[in-house]
Amino acid sequence: MTNMKKITFALAAITSSALLFSCNDKLNIAAPYKNITVVYALLNQADTAHYIRIQKAFMDENQSGIDMAKEADSSFYKDLSVSIKELNKAGQVLTTIPLSKVDLGLEGYPKEAGAFFNTPNFAYKFKKSLNQDNTYRLIIKNNNTGNVDSAETPIINTRDSAFFNVVEWRSGSSQRIAFPKTMTPEGKLLETNYSLNIPSNVGAAQLILRFRWMDSNTTAGTGVYKTADFTNFSQIKPLTPSTTSNQSYGVFTQNINLYDFIRSSLGANPGPNQYRYLLACDMILYAAGIEYKVYNDFNSYKGGLTADEIRPVYTNIKGTDVRGLFSTRTFVQKLSVPFSDDTKDSIQNYNPATKDLHIRFTP
């Protein structure tokens, strides 16, 4: 069996793995040291500051990838010029914005502990209001090699809220989170459905129900606020990405899934004098660009005995030895949506999954 060399990618947001086997001692899967640029950014019109992650993926036949991962110099370029060009619909450059190199830890985004180094954690930053009528082009120049990489993305159009929302929100203050029963008298499982309006330039969307509650100990007089996100919705029909058209589609989940989720999130009965005050739900609708959708589809590719040994690698970054994603994202939300009275009654008193969990609704 050949001596396997480790290939380490320094950006956790973009990962892939392959396991290679051979009985030929002459096979060497690692070439001499070579830099591969890795780029990741999702521009959000709602953000006041925008960050571009630019790092190295590295491979070296003479060093351990684990050891290299501990050194910041193995993951960052020393001399890059990074800029954003804002283009109008005719492709004319309206402005050029130079990006500054910042430490994300100092920006309030510390890196989690792990095998890789924790600090510094560099990214490239610019502050500008994004115009959804324009396109944004990323330019990365390596001043040591002269290599130039680039990518473009539109911005998701959220100007008209009617084309980016949950239709059920339109009921205004009367809206309630309602899933009081799990099945009909005939034994058919009941579902909760939501209709989503999605604008153009969206490739992926996700609806989240964020349950909020407080664990309360009445003896100690203490309370701890907690949240859990329910995402187990199925699509009634697939979202069809379009650069020009808005669209509507629906998602659903069986009500029994919501009760099971509440039980698993809150945990077992906490004992005497301890209660869970289930406060309300936040409804959050996330959307990401078409390139994000394509990128995820490629990364979710699964091979098999009849498939190619190496899965495809997708990138929308143009240049030499560069991989990654430059796209757009956004979200809308409706906070503190109350539960319907019959849903409260079911959760607290009737549904077998939740009635013994010491759930209350009024602190």
Query: How far apart (Å, rounded) are the C-alpha atoms in residues 95 and 58?
Result: 34
d(CA 132, CA 163): 14
Per the CB < 8 A criterion, the answer to whether 80 and 143 are in contact is: yes
What gap in Å lies between CA 107 and CA 48, rounded to an integer?
Answer: 13
Express each pLDDT in 330-357 by its tens digit.
999 999 999 999 999 999 999 999 999 9
Q: What is the pLDDT of residue 121?
A: 85
**CB-based contact 214:225 (threshold 8 Å):** yes
SS3 call for 192: strand
- Residue 259 is given by DSSP the state H
Q: For tokens 């009737």, what's the residue? A: 350
Q: How far apart are CA 210 and CA 59, in angstroms?
A: 41
Tokens 């430490």 found at: 103
Task: Indicate if the pLDDT at residue 59 is higher than 80.
Answer: no
Checking if the pLDDT of 103 tops 60, the result is yes
pLDDT tens digit string along 263-276? Answer: 999 998 888 888 99
**Encoding tokens for residue 92?**
């004319």
Q: What angle do CA 243, 245, 249 make, to 5 degrees?
A: 110
- SS3 label, residue 318: strand
Cβ-in-10-Å burial (0-12, 13-18, 19+) of 292 comes to: buried
pLDDT in tens, 68-85: 445 555 678 889 999 999
Say what the pLDDT of residue 148 is.
Answer: 94
Least confident of 54-68, 240-254, 340-354: 54-68
Rounded Cα gap, residues 296 and 325, in angstroms: 10
Which 8-state DSSP code applies to residue 18?
-
Q: Are strands 322-337 and 34-44 parallel, antiparallel or unpaired?
A: parallel
Q: What is the structure's pLDDT at 301?
A: 61
Q: How confident is the model at residue 33 (pLDDT cuts 50, 70, 90)?
A: low
Contact, 330 vs 44, CB < 8 A?
yes
Complete domains list, the chain, with CATH: 7-155 (2.60.40), 161-287+333-360 (no CATH)
Taking 60 as the threshold, does the pLDDT of residue 43 lie above it? yes
- Residue 221 pLDDT greater than 70, yes or no: yes
Burial group, residue 265, by CB count within 10 angstroms (0-12, 13-18, 19+): middle
